[in-house]
Amino acid sequence: MRTLLILCSFLLLASFRTEAQIPDKETQIKAALLAAPAHLRADCAVLGYDQNGKLVTLKEGKNNLICLGDNPNKPGFDVACYHKDLDPFMARGRALAAQGKNPKEIFDIREKEAKSGELKMPSSPTTLYVFSGKTEQEAVYRWVVYIPFATAESTGLSTTPLAGGAPWLMDPGTHRAHIMLNPTH
């Protein structure tokens, strides 16, 4: 009987611990909005996690930015905001990851779908704002400007980083072509 009581107590504590890993709605919203430019934060939509760990809309938005809360199932702190025209691309990536696809498979599937027109990609440059680090206190900003199918020739950008903070084009010529603006440390 004592063993059963200890086991039940342990399971009860473990269930509380699991629930405690997902912050409340307001905490998630506040954290997610850190990635957005300050003057746009009040009107951003925010996606975050319910108590079952499912991605849900925590806050409806009134502008063009969608912010994504920190995933409690991944190590570190990582929040982001992106232009609404990137949502089909982002949502498709999340759906493929949920199916167990690895990063290369996700890239290849989205590339094929973007080229066929099945996956709608932005028609003009669109920005992703990222605020990430080991912890929220150690997080730094990174900016990504998506320009699907852009090349070094069409942009005049290097395809490799030249110096800390300098823009460069990653994944040139693909659906995921984007200008990287990494912080200097």
| pLDDT grade for 185, boundaries at 50, 70 and 90 | low
pLDDT at 69: 97
DSSP 42: G
pLDDT at 164: 82
* Whether residue 6 has pLDDT greater than 70: no
* Whether residue 135 has pLDDT greater than 70: yes
* Whether residue 4 has pLDDT greater than 70: no
What mean pLDDT, rounded, does the chain reach? 90
- 0.95 exceeded by pTM: no
Rounded mean pLDDT, 25-40: 98
Report helix, strand or coil for 133: strand
In one-letter notation, the amino acid at residue 163 is A
* % of the chain exceeding 90 in pLDDT: 83
* % of the chain exceeding 70 in pLDDT: 88
18/93: higher pLDDT:
93
Domain range annotation of the chain: 23-181
- Nearest Cα residue to 61 out of 79, 37, 41: 41
pLDDT at 66: 99
* Whether residue 3 has pLDDT greater than 60: no
174/18: higher pLDDT:
174
45-49 and 65-68 as β-strands: parallel, antiparallel, unpaired?
A: parallel
**All residues at 6 or more sequence positions from 49 whose CB lies less than 8 Å from its CB, including other chains:** 22, 28, 55, 56, 69, 71, 72
Contact 72, 122 (CB under 8 A): no
pLDDT at 128: 98
pLDDT at 10: 43
Report helix, strand or coil for 41: helix
Task: Please state, in angstroms and rounded to a whole number, the distance separating the CA atoms of residues 181 and 164.
Answer: 9
pLDDT tens column, 146-175: 999 999 999 999 999 998 889 999 999 999
> What does the block give as tokens for 97?
């990851």
What is the DSSP annotation of 151-177?
-HHHH---SS--STT--EEESTTSTT-
pLDDT tens column, 42-63: 999 999 999 999 999 999 999 9
